[in-house]
Structure 1
Amino acid sequence: MRLTEFKTFRDAVLPLEPLTLLIGRNSSGKSNALDGLDVLSRLAEGEEIRDALDGRRRDTGAVRGGLEGCPPHGSHTFTLGCTVSTPWGAPAHLDVTVQVAPDVRILSERLTGPTYSGNKTLYETVEPRSDSGDIGIRWYRGKSGRRPHLPLRWDRLLATQLMTRLPATTDAEREVIEVAEVVLGALRGVFHLDPVPHLMRQYVPARDAELRRSAENLSASVRRIAEQSPAEFDRLVSGLRRVAEHPISEVRTTRSDLGDVMLVVDEGAGGPTPARELSDGMLRFLAVATALLTGRHGVDIGKEPGTEPSLTLVVEELENGLHPSQASLLLELLREASARAGTQTLATTHSPALLSALTGSEHPGVVVCDRDCDSGSSRPQRLTDVDGYATVMAEGRLGDVVTRGLLPTRREERDYTEFDRLLGIG
């Protein structure tokens, strides 16, 4: 993902592996980076920009800070981009600039990607007319000559309009649409899990089984896993037993007179405990574990008919509500989910125990976020690219290094005056 001009980021790139952990001090920009991915995902749904980012027609509400919170301070525009792998080998690249005031509109948008003739600019915007609510694009046609002009609405992502507006009368035009569909599919597959324990304590309709962002329908999701995927359900119960302080004999659901369901954890001698009485930590673990175990088929993401949806599962503060001793369990679930085809996981964490449980081969998936003291800009950087990484890792495990503040986040200016004097230099 390219955070070209977004909130605290300028000309930054967030590298994503199958398993990515984002670390850094408070206010370093971790949440802002996740917001950038959330914005792209919302725009890919095809809603009007303001509706998508202010959450006017969404159960999930607004993106953090809303539309006006997306540009950097002092600016009225923001620019984001992403690179997406495609079935044709070469990746596709989408970049978009959005103006939030005085009018909300696309200022520019560009898609490049593979064709039978090599990588091409598949479409790009032309200068908009000030007296119109449209913005034009010129697109790839597979032959030389002046490319035609197509007016599109400037109040929503242009890629989402191609399927109904581009003629698609030639192979080249169909290539444009196919690449756009792949990019949009990847963005629509972003699922930002933000469990809200107090919402999980109610009866929910049994049919509402695809886990939502807030995990408010956790009971229905767990019930479906128990009925349709016994192996996954056994893993879920096994994990819960490792998390709980007390023995757990059974996990099940109970029905209300109206047919709605609620999760129940049977603690043996302690008796059954319904979801409304479970701890925040236990409910949060169940939500995260459910999403990780079921993957793209168990969460509420767009699933186009005839396609195999991808999933990028995003969890902020992954370890919230869990004891540090459970870090290895979380990591096991993350590894399993990330190993599935078409699945990525991205999480922020402050857990030294979780970081210390990583193997050295997983360190390239750790991204360090920090803020420049002078400009205030955030910068994401692979852990393995951080200056002094090899030296500080000789001091111990990653969690210990981070806890002791030994990990440098930027190249520091050093004063070599005394060293030079001893060598007789200068």
Structure 2
Amino acid sequence: MTELHRGRPPSPPGVSPDRPHVTELRLSAFARHRAATVPLGPFTVLTGPSGAGKSTALRALEALAGLGGGASLADVFPDPVRYVPEGARPDAQHRRGFRIGCTVEGPAGPVRLDLAVQAEPELRIVGERLTGPGVTYLETALRDPGRRDVQAAWHTAGSVPVTRGPLPDDLLGTALLPLRVAGRTEGQRRVLAAAEQTVVGLRSVFACDPAPARMRTPAPTRADRLRGSCDNLATVLRRTRAECGIRHGLLVTAARAGLAGPVADVLAERRPDGAVRTVIDRGDGTRTPVERLADGELRYLAHALVLLTGPGVLDVDTVAEVPEAYQTLTVLADGLDRGLDPAQSAELVALAGRMCARGHIRLVAAVGEDGPADRAARTHGATVVDLRP
């Protein structure tokens, strides 16, 4: 890495100005969104009626995160045509596509990434721009549709102000810059710092959508990093209980507030076959296996665990060159309040507000319009974005 963290002291608790993090999502032309800008604070709640595009907005940010981690365009957009704006007319070459982007704040200042994607007739990146205040770090364009690359130009600021070369049309050029830029000149170092800040901010995104049916199945002990479906909740619970008693105590407190019946502890119980399952210790000798919990209880418990953990526990594309203390984890939670009763929704939002305010985690959540989670978010420091058409 270049100047992202070298020689910088750790930020104090709750303050993370030097940790790369996404502060804005742009949906210039994506599905039903046109010219939409979504500000992202430490705790952001997307609200609006069904069909407003809350899930679609989260999907765009998840896709950008995947590209930042080195995934191909086809990996993150297996069905790209669904994201072409409705009514978009093909050009003379029968091409249609969509445009998305984001801003990542960090030591290099605000860095904007904007992407133009062709969905038809072939999926490919046809334009990419990485910019900062008064400078274009990288710009690509499709010059020859018959070739599987784009022409790229990146900032040099030396005897030759711009360096040009081809880049693949199915990968994010920003993520490839560290392999193409030597870093010998001040201009090249600025390009690397901007690119690395963007990549770190995107790779620290974790999309979470707990699947209760899968969570009821015992998990193998080797899967100790929580997956997005939370199907290996028991294994991760076993790990976090052993590693941090304080956070486990907070999880038990949250469980008492959101699960039916008394809760003395939340345990990971090892089965004879070596697998692990979650059980609720009722404090009277009774242990309720996770299979007996309602879907809403399981989703509540999984989200609470996510809010109380971090990059070393969640299955995110970690950046080996950057210590965890310099990463800010951003969780995407589609349907944070799905299946939850009003008390559970309010309690989970309150927990999210506390954790985000401490700088422990960032959260972008989609919730139902004018429901308990929506109302609670407005009293717990959330940036509420109404995506009403």
TM range (shorter): 0.7 to 0.9
Partner of residue 223 from structure 1, selected from 234, 238, 241? 238
Which one scores higher on RCO, CA 8 angstroms, separation ≥ 6? 2
- Residue 42 of structure 1: aligned partner: 66
- Residue 101 of structure 2: aligned partner: 81
Q: Is 1:12 matched up with 2:25? A: no
Distance 1:348 1:341 in 2: 20
Q: Is 1:367 matched up with 2:385? A: yes
The alignment partner of 2:199 has SS state of: helix
- Residue 386 of structure 1: aligned partner: none
Kindly report which structure 2 residues correspond to 1:162-311, keeping only aligned pairs within 5 A, or say none. 162-269=177-284, 271-307=286-322, 308-311=326-329
**1:340–1:266 Cα change, 3 Å:** same
Distance 1:315 1:359 in 2: 17
- Residue 344 of structure 1: aligned partner: 362
The farther-off stretch of 139-148 and 206-215 is: 139-148
CA RMSD of aligned residues (A): 2.1
Q: Give how far 1:190 is off.
A: 1.5
- Residue 19 of structure 2: aligned partner: none
The alignment partner of 1:205 has SS state of: coil
| 1:9-34 deviation digits (Å, cap 9, x = unpaired) | 11110111111111111111111111
- Residue 61 of structure 1: aligned partner: none
The aligned length equals: 354
CA contact (8 A) 2:233 2:302 kept: yes
Q: Is 1:105 matched up with 2:124? A: yes
Structure 1: runs of 5 or more not aligned: 55-65, 372-426
| 1:128-160 deviation digits (Å, cap 9, x = unpaired) | 223321111111111465623111111111112
Q: Give how far 1:340 is off.
A: 3.7
- Residue 376 of structure 2: aligned partner: 357
| 1:357-409 deviation digits (Å, cap 9, x = unpaired) | 3556836x1111112xxxxxxxxxxxxxxxxxxxxxxxxxxxxxxxxxxxxxx
| 1:234-279 deviation digits (Å, cap 9, x = unpaired) | 1111111112231123321211234321111123458222222222
The farther-off stretch of 201-210 and 339-348 is: 339-348
**1:111–1:339 Cα change, 3 Å:** same
The alignment partner of 1:326 has SS state of: helix
**1:15–1:241 Cα change, 3 Å:** same
- Residue 82 of structure 2: aligned partner: 69
The alignment partner of 1:251 has SS state of: strand
- One-letter amino acid matched to 1:6: F
Distance 1:244 1:131 in 2: 58
Distance 2:353 2:263 in 1: 25
Partner of residue 156 from structure 2, selected from 141, 153, 166? 141
CA contact (8 A) 1:95 1:109 kept: yes
The alignment partner of 2:255 has SS state of: helix
Q: Give how far 1:232 is off.
A: 0.8
Distance 2:69 2:77 in 1: 11
The alignment partner of 2:388 has SS state of: strand
CA contact (8 A) 2:378 2:384 kept: no
